[in-house]
Structure 1
Amino acid sequence: WSDEAQNLKMMYEDMKSRVEHVVESGKVEAEFITCDQFRGVFDLWTHKFTRHDHPTIIQVLQNSETDMDDTKEYTMPNLIYLSREKSKVSPHHFKAGALNTLLRVSAAMTNSPVILTLDCDMYSNDPTTPNRALCYLTDPNLKSILGYVQFPQKFQGISKNDIYACEYKRLFDINMVGFDGLMGPNYVGTGCFFNRRAFYGTPSNLIFHEIDELSPNQIAHKSIKAKYVLELAHNVAGCIYEHNTNWGSKIGFRYGSLVEDYYTGLMIHGLGWRTVFCCPKRAAFYGDAPKTLIDVVNQQKRWCIGL
């Protein structure tokens, strides 16, 4: 038991007690706010702030233009917290709606041509994975028609006999390889690197965005902390922004299905985009498999009702 481990334990216990206190009191008191940049965010958390009804929150936690690592040798990547606006009187379209909000806000702030979608219960297992995806997405013979690169879902903690069939070999190993010989695999909701352009029409016909700055071909040249950029990001994260637009029907992740991932993948294929299945020996991403029957039932229920 090292001093470092003891310090980590103490830090965790301190964080746990502060979180529990905030949950019980319903607010973040001034003594718990250690940085001025977060003060304005926590001021939004009032008694009216609920999971179903709250304003947009966008907070730049790391800025690649200014932030360095502890050694001052390497630039840190952008890290931005986003919580979209929600209202009980406006549909939020579950995961597809959240992904479309991320798509628009990221366009307003950086407009990177490549987008990775990864579920919160998955984590990276190979730092070379982006390089593998970019080999396809930047291939001059493929890039103009390639919609996304899909990696298989892999799970840790599966028992020797896999009595609950949690490995999903048919879905993630067998079917994917077969589809790769056709137009390519379908989108399975996680572990996927998208070509941003694929969300805006066919390879030969761009559906123009209602805001020029969010066009997939636009170069974001302003600082992510610029007032105009943050105002635009808040605007496109609003719960009424999509009203009377093509979002969810012709642009972005598609609405109208409990399985928005498969539906979106089918629509992208239908528009003429090809996709690629990449299955390296070392798993690109890992998730944790259910360990009990109750966990399996809960997972299947969550998937079946689209949550």
Structure 2
Amino acid sequence: MKRRIENVIENGKVAQYITSQQEHEAFSPWTKTFTHRDHPTVIQVLLESGKDIDVSGHSMPNLIYVTREKSITSPHHYKAGALNTLLRVSALMTNAPIILTLDCDMFSNNPRTPYNVLCYFMDNSIRPKLAYVQFPQCFHGVNKNDIYSSEMQRGFHINPKGMDGLTGPHCMGTGCFFMRRALFGGPSAMLQPEMPQLSPDHVVTNPIRSRHILELANTVAGCNYEFQTNWGEQVCAFLNDTTTEFN
């Protein structure tokens, strides 16, 4: 494996290790000029609900790999920029009403978490005023006395409870279920993006592998899409101009 990785780095391509057409499509945009700070958009549908099944014959959920375009001449806005891109791409492909943000190094220790969230989102008495439901982070392997406050109890367990009476705590960036509609303004004043397909009310009718959808997805994942557009100046669901990586 080490030798294969070194060969790929040296040659700038993985052609000799590609074994299927799907893998070829996924890796074809990668060239020697492809860097983590400067590269084109890569969107690859790995699984499509209703078509792909597991070993037991059950339908698999949609699984799409997305790498947004980056350029050394355009700010990428860190995590907020990534989430805005994913919000737009997912709107074109499924436009599901509920969105989960979860860091790659985290997981839920309760398999019924989505069901618990739906209890809130489906409650008509609170749904109109509910934007998101989030779960505090818990850390493993922390020193018994936690002298360095590595568990961040104040940020994840103390402050949120104190903010309950002040419209709720701020979003912590992970372990959070959003109502897509809540990211487009208040209940009485929805902000409309210039592309109707990005609206939370849009109904997706085309399959996610259709050429039209993939072309639009590549467009909205471009590094300059937010420049002088309604999305960049008004919607911008996840704020970019902050001193932290996410807000």
Give the counterpart of 2:209 among 204, 207, 225: 225
Tell me the CA shift for residue 164 of structure 1.
1.9
For 1:93, give the aligned amino acid.
H
- 2:5 is aligned to 19
Match of 2:44 in 1: 59
2:183 & 2:218 partners in 1: Cα distance? 21
Cα distance, 1:248–1:119 mapped onto 2, change above 3 Å: farther
Match of 1:143 in 2: 127
* Partner residue of 2:115 out of 131, 149, 155: 131
Which of 229, 238, 243 pairs up with 1:253? 238
Alignment of 1:204-219 (within 5 A): 204-219=188-203
Q: Is the 8 A contact 1:114 1:193 kept in 2?
A: yes
Amino acid at match of 1:70: V
Matched to 1:53, the amino acid is: D
Q: CA deviation at 1:17?
A: 4.7
- Structure 1 runs (4+) deviating above 4 angstroms are none
Letter in 2 for 1:61: L
1:254 match: secondary structure = coil
Which structure 1 segments of 5+ residues have no match?
1-13, 265-307
Alpha-carbon distance, 1:84 to partner: 0.5
Q: Quick one: distance in 2 between partners of 1:143 and 1:19?
A: 49
1:88 and 1:260, CA in 2 relative to 1: closer, same or farther beyond 3 A? closer
Instruction: Give the distance between the partners of 1:117 and 1:184, measured in 2 at CA.
Output: 18
| Alignment partners' CA distance in 2, 1:248 and 1:240 | 9
Alignment of 1:228-239 (within 5 A): 228-239=212-223
Any residues of structure 2 matched to 1:28-177 within 5 Å, and which? 28-30=14-16, 32-72=17-57, 74-177=58-161
Counterpart CA distance in 1 for 2:222 and 2:162 is 41
Shift of 1:29: 2.4
Are the equivalent residues in 2 in contact too, given 1:22–1:28 (CA < 8 A)? yes
Distance, in Å, in 1 between the alignment partners of 2:231 and 2:84 is 8
Letter paired with 1:18 = R
1:301 aligned residue: none
Distance 2:205 2:3 in 1: 42
- Kindly indicate which of the two structures has a greater share of residues assigned to strand: 1
Provide the identity percentage: 54
**SS at the partner of 2:65?**
strand
Number of corresponding residues: 246
- Deviations along 1:17-63, whole A, 9 cap, x unmatched? 53343234321023x11211121332211111111111100001111
Please state whether the residue corresponding to 1:116 is helix, strand or coil. strand
Tell me the distance in 2 between the aligned counterparts of 1:98 and 1:85. Answer: 10
SS in 2 for 1:206: coil
Greater shift after overlay, 116-125 or 61-70? Answer: 116-125
Distance 2:77 2:33 in 1: 22
User: For each residue in 1:252-307, what CA deviation from the matched residue of structure 2 results, as whole angstroms up to 9, or x when unmatched?
Assistant: 1012112254xx4xxxxxxxxxxxxxxxxxxxxxxxxxxxxxxxxxxxxxxxxxxx
SS in 2 for 1:58: strand
2:243 partner letter: L
Say which SS state the counterpart of residue 96 (structure 1) adopts: helix
Aligned AA (1:52): R
The answer on whether the counterparts of 2:133 and 2:178 sit within 8 Å (CA) in structure 1 is yes
Q: Are the counterparts in 1 of residues 133 and 176 from structure 2 also a CA contact under 8 Å?
A: yes
- Partner of 2:212, secondary structure, is helix
TM-score (norm 1): 0.76
User: How far does residue 176 in structure 1 lie from its aligned partner after superposition?
Assistant: 0.9
Distance 2:140 2:241 in 1: 32
Aligned residue in 2 for 1:181: 165
Aligned-residue Cα RMSD (Å) equals 1.5
How far off is 1:161 after superposition? 1.2
What secondary structure does 1:81 align onto?
strand
